[in-house]
Amino acid sequence: MQGAVHFGAVLLASFGVACASTRDVHIDQRKDLAGYRTWNFLAHESGSVYAPDADARALDATLTRLIERCLLERGFERVKGRPDFYVRYVLEVRRQIVSTEETPAVESLSSLHESPSYEFQATASRVESYETGHLTILVSEPGEQTVIWRGGFEGRLRGELQPQLKDAVVSVLGHFPASDAASGARPAGGAREGAEATVQCAPQS
């Protein structure tokens, strides 16, 4: 069945800080993917990771491993020859600084004389920095430039970026239709470099 399917999931998580961050996941599926079983990365393009304040090469390597593990768990085999589909991705990370003004409750200061007490307020400024991450994973068929499946993750990130990439990849590829082979054993030759552990890439509700 061909057609367009679009849905979004808004999730809340703390990323290890007191306040919660909002994450948006958007999926655009333009073709029935039933019967697909093999895949590979599209020829690597420079500029797949934009992260001026981080090690882009390390983030790129982490993303590659996470995507491979997630697709393996969903029943797809990575092959060197002509696959059923190609995968490419783009990660953009930008640092943002937010300044907020906080005014506490009114406090009273007693007078040492007979005059009335004084009331005062002190406004304090607080500056916070964080990264916003936008990950896009695109799927296309060999010989075609048209994207047949697209998943996007956008959210606020805090602290070390690499551990949070797992959450982003799983949030997106958890919506990718599982292969027919996923109900049985892992595909033959599934134990390959970078796939020594699963990432629990279960379907997202």
Mean pLDDT for the chain overall: 74
What is the separation of C-alpha 107 from the centre of its chain, rounded to a whole number of angstroms?
45
d(CA 158, CA 155): 10
User: Has residue 12 got a pLDDT over 60?
Assistant: no
CA 82 centroid distance within chain: 28
Prediction pTM value: 0.69
pLDDT at 39 > cutoff 60: yes
3-state secondary structure of 57: helix
pLDDT of residue 94: 83
pLDDT tens sequence across 164-202: 889 899 999 999 999 876 655 444 443 343 344 456 787
- Residues 129 and 136: beta-carbon distance below 8 Å: no
For residues 56 and 50, is the Cβ–Cβ distance under 8 A?
yes
The half-sphere exposure of 168 on its side-chain side, counting CA atoms within 13 A, is: 28
Domains and CATH numbers, the chain: 23-98+131-183 (3.30.160.670)
Q: Is 172 left (phi over 0), alpha (psi -120 to 50) or beta?
A: alpha
Q: What is the CA radius of gyration of the chain?
A: 24
Q: Please compute the mean of the pLDDT values over residues 115-143 and round it to a whole number.
A: 77
SS3 199: coil
Summarize pLDDT for 92-117 with one digit per residue, the tens.
988 777 777 766 665 555 656 655 55
